[in-house]
Chain A
Amino acid sequence: MSADFLYGIEVVINGLMAGVLYALVALGFVLIFKASGIFNYAQGVMALFAALTLVGIMEGQVPFSHLINAVFGTEIHHFGWHVPALLAIAMTLLVMVAFAWMVQHFVFRHLVGQEPIILFMATIGLAYFLEGVGDLMWGSDIKTLALGLPQGGSLWVEEATQGLGGDDFYGFFLDKLDMVATVVAIVLVGALIAFAQYTKQGRAMRAVADDHQAALSVGISLNYIWVLVWSLAGLVALVAGVMWGAKSGVQFSLSLIALKALPVLMLGGFTSIPGAIVGGLIIGVGEKLFEYLIGPMVGGATENWFAYVLALIFLVFRPQGLFGEKIIERV
């Protein structure tokens, strides 16, 4: 096999791994949108907030320490202990569930039956509010997430695949962190699908997504389901935040990764879980391949815009996305 072809395969594999992460973020959007018709602009900030909280808890940072110090003239920053990673993750999850409850209780419970644009505006407000709270709670400096996840390229894969090509092929270069992220994302997606298909709560979730009145009439509490859905979105945000945070540090630009989910959603459809997965993979592979094949001809940096152009083309020919439901109004 020629080295060029093998490098092409390497690009595709890397694209798939990036795509799984895109899919994960997109999934957070789909969950909330399906169940409540809310396009959650705050999904990216939720990922940031979850990562900040995780680091803060692990490092034993005192939440709101700047505020406390400013008000009481004290000088406290740390509790002086370190929390083990697994315990910290569980605690962060609790924080995200509490956040979900508060969002439902203080914001969206009062907006039931409002226009979609009003709900959307509310999530924009929520995004900036949460960003502010994150800053106030944990500070705005860039933090490193030391979860002990493997870093760097995998020597094992490189050596195992070295023999495939000729002399100018040095084996596949795969990032270890990407590989871990891919496995975690696949497990999470599988668990979410099993949850939606086979549990009572999952059934209720799908029922609420379809028809509110009918759901009420079979004894489903809408509030409960919405808190549940926001909690699941919080879980997805936590995983996405951890993976991206481990890669590039926990910083406020993390909230922008959510924007990458937009083309994924346009491709896959806003209401489809398989759509989010396939859309994520297509975008991931598409942008890496495009960069590899066409990038050198146009001066590179195509990854910044390729996904959006692809999404635009899709919008023209298939506005409901690959798997979205086409809504036909009967006249």
Chain B
Amino acid sequence: MKDTLAPYVTPDGRQIGETLMDMRNITLRFGGVEAIKDISFNIQEGEIRAIIGPNGAGKSSMLNVISGFYNPQEGEVWFRGKKRPPMKPYQVARLGIARTFQNIALFQGMSVLDNVMTGRLNHMNAGMLAQAVWRGKAEREEVANRETVEKVIDFLEIQAIRKTPVGRLPYGLKKRVELARALAAEPKLLLLDEPMAGMNVEEKEDMSRFILDVNDEFGTTIALIEHDMGVVMDLSDRVIVMDYGRKIGDGTPDEVRNNQEVIDAYLGVSHD
């Protein structure tokens, strides 16, 4: 098990680059409870990195640390070669880290198109008045942003529901719209919190395909949390296994699969 790998090309021909995000000795406490205990790992450019573990292992907490929703008490977060000071979630988003949520967080009152457009908010710089009257720079920006958004919508095959209010969509499609909104921001790092939770087999297959395609076509670096071991092993380049807030495994799916500690955590072992 190596911590960082030199840039390499995967068997299916994708380029994995330098370290994009480096988490160093992260500890996160809620009162007296340690949700994350001294965990270090990194995410390299272009890879699909999974975090797995049983319920309550601290996976979501870790994702929330990366996206700035929690700030760790100890440890350092390095992003694109720079140490990141404690930040608010919206500041992290502006750095180019987009995310989805475990319990879908969409703007229910807006249409699919408007939802995805909010992903472009940080790419709009024209003055307020120009935007209100839709002239000059504002018009050019709006057109460019719309193009990006339409590309994402095409890519995720949600053209048919562009004008539908999000509240009316079935669960699987909502998840896809959320992914579209995150992608519209053209993030450097995309965080997916249980993208396949609560889906049936067919929806899971669709979502897996989209995740692979996003990574392949846009070269987006992806970190995801997932319960379903099978899915994770097929999708990811490297896997971190967490249990009770500790890291108990880190490596390629094959390495992790054969790790005795990981097998114990998942199958249960008597502690005596």
Whether chains A and B associate is yes
Question: Which residues from chain A contact B119 at a C-beta distance below 8 Å?
Answer: 218
Q: Is A293 an interface residue (CB 8 A)?
A: no
Question: Which residues from chain A contact B90 at a C-beta distance below 8 Å?
Answer: 215-216, 219-222
How distant is B84 from chain A, measured CB to nearest CB, in Å?
15
Q: Is B69 an interface residue (CB 8 A)?
A: yes
> Is there contact, CB below 8 Å, between B107 and A210?
yes
> Is there contact, CB below 8 Å, between A218 and B132?
no
Known: A198-B131, A199-B131, A213-B101. A219 touches B108 (CB 8 A): no
Contact size range, A: 20 to 34
> Is there contact, CB below 8 Å, between A217 and B134?
no
How distant is A274 from chain B, measured CB to nearest CB, in Å?
13
> Is there contact, CB below 8 Å, between B121 and A204?
yes
Which A residues between 189 and 221 are near B, CB-CB below 8 angstroms? 191, 194-195, 198-201, 203-204, 206-207, 209-211, 213-221
Q: Is B81 an interface residue (CB 8 A)?
A: no
Q: Is B56 an interface residue (CB 8 A)?
A: no
Q: Is A325 an interface residue (CB 8 A)?
A: yes
> Is there contact, CB below 8 Å, between B109 and A218?
no
In the bound complex, CA of A199 to CA of B125 (Å): 10
How distant is B137 from chain A, measured CB to nearest CB, in Å?
12
In the bound complex, CA of A175 to CA of B196 (Å): 64
Question: Which residues from chain A contact B88 at a C-beta distance below 8 Å?
Answer: 216, 221
Q: Is B93 an interface residue (CB 8 A)?
A: yes
In the bound complex, CA of A305 to CA of B155 (Å): 58
> Is there contact, CB below 8 Å, between A219 and B94?
yes
In the bound complex, CA of A217 to CA of B185 (Å): 10
In the bound complex, CA of A214 to CA of B105 (Å): 5
Question: Which residues from chain A contact B17 at a C-beta distance below 8 Å?
Answer: none
Residue in A209, A211, A217, A219 whose Cβ sees the most chain B Cβ within 10 Å: A217
How distant is A207 from chain B, measured CB to nearest CB, in Å?
5
Question: Which residues from chain B contact A213 at a C-beta distance below 8 Å?
Answer: 69, 101, 105
Question: Which residues from chain A contact B124 at a C-beta distance below 8 Å?
Answer: 200
Question: Which residues from chain A contact B59 at a C-beta distance below 8 Å?
Answer: none
How distant is A260 from chain B, measured CB to nearest CB, in Å?
28
Known: A210-B109, A210-B110, A213-B105. A194 touches B122 (CB 8 A): no
- Output the nearest chain A residue to B109 by Cβ-Cβ distance: A210
How distant is A217 from chain B, measured CB to nearest CB, in Å?
5
Known: A194-B132, A200-B121, A203-B117. A217 touches B110 (CB 8 A): no
Question: Which residues from chain A contact B93 at a C-beta distance below 8 Å?
Answer: 216-219
In the bound complex, CA of A186 to CA of B213 (Å): 50
Question: Which residues from chain A contact B131 at a C-beta distance below 8 Å?
Answer: 198-200
Contact size range, B: 20 to 34
- Output the nearest chain B residue to A199 by Cβ-Cβ distance: B131
**8 Å CB contact of B185 from A199, A210, A215, A218:** A218
- Output the nearest chain B residue to A218 by Cβ-Cβ distance: B118
Known: A198-B132, A198-B134, A200-B121. A214 touches B89 (CB 8 A): no
Known: A194-B132, A199-B128, A213-B101. A220 touches B110 (CB 8 A): no
In the bound complex, CA of A198 to CA of B141 (Å): 12
**8 Å CB contact of A211 from B69, B107, B133, B182:** B107
How distant is B82 from chain A, measured CB to nearest CB, in Å?
18
Question: Which residues from chain B contact A199 at a C-beta distance below 8 Å?
Answer: 128, 131-132
In the bound complex, CA of A204 to CA of B185 (Å): 14
Question: Which residues from chain B contact A325 at a C-beta distance below 8 Å?
Answer: 109
> Is there contact, CB below 8 Å, between A217 and B105?
yes
How distant is A187 from chain B, measured CB to nearest CB, in Å?
13
> Is there contact, CB below 8 Å, between B67 and A217?
yes
Residue in B90, B91, B122, B133 whose Cβ sees the most chain A Cβ within 10 Å: B90
Which B residues between 233 and 270 are near A, CB-CB below 8 angstroms? none
> Is there contact, CB below 8 Å, between B107 and A206?
yes
Q: Is B26 an interface residue (CB 8 A)?
A: no
How distant is B129 from chain A, measured CB to nearest CB, in Å?
9
Known: A198-B131, A198-B134, A220-B121. A206 touches B99 (CB 8 A): no
How distant is A224 from chain B, measured CB to nearest CB, in Å?
9
- Output the nearest chain A residue to B141 by Cβ-Cβ distance: A200
How distant is B180 from chain A, measured CB to nearest CB, in Å?
12
- Output the nearest chain B residue to A221 by Cβ-Cβ distance: B90
How distant is A321 from chain B, measured CB to nearest CB, in Å?
15
How distant is B227 from chain A, measured CB to nearest CB, in Å?
21
Encoded as 1 (CB less than 8 Å from any A CB) or 0, chain B from 161 to 201 comes to 00000000000000000000110010000000000000000
How distant is A132 from chain B, measured CB to nearest CB, in Å?
34
Encoded as 1 (CB less than 8 Å from any B CB) or 0, chain A from 76 to 111 comes to 000000000000000000000000000000000000
Question: Which residues from chain B contact A198 at a C-beta distance below 8 Å?
Answer: 131-132, 134
Residue in B93, B107, B124 whose Cβ sees the most chain A Cβ within 10 Å: B107
Q: List 29 A-B contacts (CB under 8 A).
A: A191-B132, A194-B132, A194-B133, A195-B128, A195-B132, A198-B134, A199-B128, A200-B124, A200-B128, A200-B131, A203-B114, A204-B118, A204-B121, A206-B110, A207-B110, A207-B118, A209-B109, A210-B107, A211-B107, A211-B108, A213-B105, A214-B181, A215-B107, A216-B88, A216-B89, A216-B90, A218-B118, A219-B185, A220-B121
* Chain B positions near chain A (C-beta within 8 angstroms): 67, 69, 88-91, 93-94, 98-99, 101, 105-110, 114, 117-119, 121-122, 124, 126, 128, 131-134, 181-182, 185
* Chain A positions near chain B (C-beta within 8 angstroms): 191, 194-195, 198-201, 203-204, 206-207, 209-211, 213-222, 325
